Homo-oligomer: A and B are copies of this chain.
Amino acid sequence: MTEASLIVIGTELTRGIIQDKHTQLVSRELTRLGIHMRSSVVLPDDGSVDAVLSSLVKRKGIIIVTGGLGPTQDDLTRSIIAKAFSRKLVEDPESVEFLKKRLGERFGGSNIKQAYIPEGFDTIPNENGTAPGFYGGTEEVKVIALPGPPREMEPMFTTYVLPLIRKWLDIPEEERDEYSSFITGESKLEDLCELFGPGLDWGTRFQDYRISLYVSGGSKEVRDRAVQGISGEVGKYRIVEGNLEAIDILRKTLLERNMTISCAESCSGGVASDLLSEKPGSSRYFSGSVVSYSPEVKMRVLGVPETLISEYGTISVECAKAMAEGVLKATGSDVAFSITGVAGPDESEGKKVGTVAFGFASGNGETQGVMVKLSTWGRLSIRRRASVAAFLLANSYINGEDVESIAKEWKWI
């Protein structure tokens, strides 16, 4: 695999005045081309790029340098690059013409410096500034120099540099599959990846409500088999193809079926409602919810019978079912779900932290319920995973499946 490094020069960056944007852009786009980003270093305008560049040119690969191409005396990039390749700096006639046109009568003095490039290098036009970029080097090591300001650098990178690199390397895009995994912890997921696809190249990224899972290497068939293995281990609907949130899956089903949903939340305290109403147009499928935090609200607003609570407690399948039926009736939605459990940090009603019951009700189907035990990675994590689990199960419920048997088979939650 080809390697690349980025050097971002700017004292405004090393003083923390502005935020570097080049690292993410360059890293993302080169990764997409199958290039390994070896490093990205931010340096001040003080010539320290000299040492970094000297060390990088000893290794095969592409070096991109941004910044330090302006006309002022601390912009040393062009002479340091020339030195690293033992070239002279020469006037580039095209750049002189360009600068004359661009600067008019202001052309002259230190501006002329910007028309100099290392001998044998080629220029990259800059449509939004005065300093052109340039590139060149040897068969093994190539340097691409671009101006620092994002509004100059970004279009040059996209329009000229990426096609140039594609031409140099003539390599196809890497085949990489993306999945979204729900409710499992990141380190457990990584263990499972190793177990089911030991030779493959796995990557995970924790996000608030899911973990993104990337896999490359091997054939598509081998990758698919590995993911099916993990999926079979953790249980139904826990790993889906693509870049998706659990709420996206539920939303799609609701929109396709033209149905409205409501929910009754206890331990999740509004997290599920927040997600259900997050996107524009959510009033098409979300009627509303009741956050029945206290037992009184469960009774008064949702109509959960006091006798039911005293017999089973509020953290029970029975209470969850009554809550789902209650919010369905109160809001008049087509379908409803409920979440009631122990977010912690303390036990409640003799139930362990992480115990969560879910209820599901609809106008034309049987009410269902199930209780699970989530791992205890903190209150916020339980609230979020409970909401995600509710979305997955609500989706199954709408699709006419048996929610209890699905949730009972879930592992590593």
Residue ranges of A at the interface with B (Cβ–Cβ < 8 Å): 11-21, 23-31, 36-44, 48, 52, 70-73, 102-106, 110-111, 149, 185-187, 190-191, 203, 205-206, 260, 262, 265, 269-278, 280, 282-283, 286-294, 296-297, 300-301, 330-332, 344-346, 375-380
A26-B16, A39-B48, A40-B42 known; A344-B292 Cβ under 8 A: no
Which of B283, B294, B378 is within 8 Å of A288, CB to CB?
B294
**Alpha-carbon gap, A283 to B15, bound state (A):** 37
**Alpha-carbon gap, A104 to B18, bound state (A):** 42
* A44 neighbours in B (Cβ, 8 Å): 36-38
In contact, B291 and A110 (Cβ under 8 angstroms): no
| A130 to B, closest residue via Cβ | B377
A23-B20, A273-B273, A291-B289 known; A15-B37 Cβ under 8 A: yes
In contact, B52 and A39 (Cβ under 8 angstroms): yes
In contact, A38 and B31 (Cβ under 8 angstroms): no
Given contacts A14-B27, A27-B42, A287-B297, 6 further A-B contacts (CB under 8 A): A14-B40, A16-B31, A269-B276, A269-B277, A270-B275, A282-B293
* A273 neighbours in B (Cβ, 8 Å): 265, 269-270, 273-274, 291
| A288 to B, closest residue via Cβ | B297
Interchain nearest-CB distance for A106 vs B (Å) = 6
Number of copies: 2
**Alpha-carbon gap, A277 to B339, bound state (A):** 14
**Alpha-carbon gap, A300 to B290, bound state (A):** 12
Interface hub of A29, A265, A291 (most chain B Cβ within 10 A) = A291
| A270 to B, closest residue via Cβ | B273
Main secondary structure of the interface of A (DSSP, over half): mixed
A23-B13, A332-B300 known; A290-B289 Cβ under 8 A: yes
In contact, A300 and B331 (Cβ under 8 angstroms): yes
In contact, B41 and A39 (Cβ under 8 angstroms): yes
Interface hub of A104, A186, A377 (most chain B Cβ within 10 A) = A104
* A378 neighbours in B (Cβ, 8 Å): 102
**Alpha-carbon gap, A379 to B342, bound state (A):** 31
Q: Which 5 A-B pairs have the closest CB atoms?
A: A16-B28, A269-B277, A270-B273, A16-B27, A288-B297
| A16 to B, closest residue via Cβ | B28
* A15 neighbours in B (Cβ, 8 Å): 27-28, 31, 37, 203
| A104 to B, closest residue via Cβ | B376
* A376 neighbours in B (Cβ, 8 Å): 104-106
In contact, B31 and A296 (Cβ under 8 angstroms): no
A274-B269, A301-B288 known; A23-B37 Cβ under 8 A: no
